[in-house]
């Protein structure tokens, strides 16, 4: 197995996609028939590309930190912190210019160096509260 086939590479490739603001980077690590167990997007590489294209339109200054990577067999888990400014429409919400922080734990099943399946846990309520200003003005650091 080469280092490019190690499952952990998927977590690093995802962080690179986010920090490079490059939705087309999915071609290098997301399988065409990718199964995404996430309510925010459909299955498939193209749906994943569309998700990140929309994300970067709303949050063009996104910075992602890969906090941890764990590998067990064909599974890789990554813990991520996202920091950005809400600068474009997102999920029907108008941009506010507010800074936001989101955290996720993502798990991928990897076959031949490509992510074929994905699960995640997001701090969605806190993230949405930051977008709408319903966080009581505490902002992302609170």
- State the average pLDDT over residues 77-95: 96
**Predicted confidence (pLDDT) per residue in 17-54, tens digit:** 999 999 999 999 999 999 999 888 899 999 999 999 99
DSSP E strand boundaries for the chain: 30-37, 63-72, 75-85, 99-111, 114-122
pLDDT at residue 139 tops 60: no
Owner of token pair 């590479």? 9
pLDDT above 70 for 138: no
What confidence score (pLDDT) does residue 16 get? Answer: 96
Domain 3-132 has CATH 3.10.450.50: yes
Q: Positive or negative CA dihedral for 85, 54, 81, 120?
A: positive
Beta bridge mates, 65 = 81
Kindly state the average pLDDT of the residues 111-128: 94
What integer pLDDT is reported at residue 1 of this predicted model?
A: 37
Average pLDDT over residues 8-21: 95
Q: If pLDDT is split at 50, 70 and 90, which confidence band does 6 have?
A: low
**Residue 79 main-chain phi, psi, to 5 deg:** -110, 125
Instruction: Tell me if 3 sits within 8 A of 15, measured CB to CB.
Output: no
Residue 140 has pLDDT above 60, yes or no: no
> Does 137 have pLDDT greater than 60?
no
**Structure-block tokens of residue 104:** 């996720």
pLDDT at residue 43, as a whole number: 96
Give residue limits of the domains in the chain: 3-132
Look up tokens 């709303």; give the residue: 58
3-state secondary structure labels for all residues of 86-126: CCCCECCECCCCCEEEEEEEEEEEEECCEEEEEEEEECHHH
- pTM for the whole thing? 0.89
pLDDT value at residue 3: 46
Task: State how far the Cα of 99 lies from the Cα of 126, in Å rounded to an integer.
Answer: 13
- 63 pLDDT exceeds 60? yes
């Amino acid at each position: 197995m080469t280092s490019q086939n190690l499952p952990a590479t998927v977590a690093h490739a995802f962080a690179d996609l986010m920090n490079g603001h490059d939705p087309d980077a999915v071609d290098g690590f997301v399988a065409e028939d990718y199964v995404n167990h996430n309510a925010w997007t459909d299955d498939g590489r193209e749906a994943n590309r569309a998700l990140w294209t929309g994300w970067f339109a709303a949050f063009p200054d996104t910075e992602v930190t890969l906090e941890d990577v764990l590998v067990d067999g064909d599974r890789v888990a990554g813990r991520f912190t996202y920091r950005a400014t809400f600068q474009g429409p997102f999920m029907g919400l108008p941009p506010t210019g507010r800074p936001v922080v989101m955290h996720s734990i993502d798990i991928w099943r990897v076959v031949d160096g490509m992510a074929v399946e994905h699960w995640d846990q997001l701090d969605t309520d806190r993230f949405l509260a930051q977008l709408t200003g319903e966080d009581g003005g505490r902002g992302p650091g609170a």
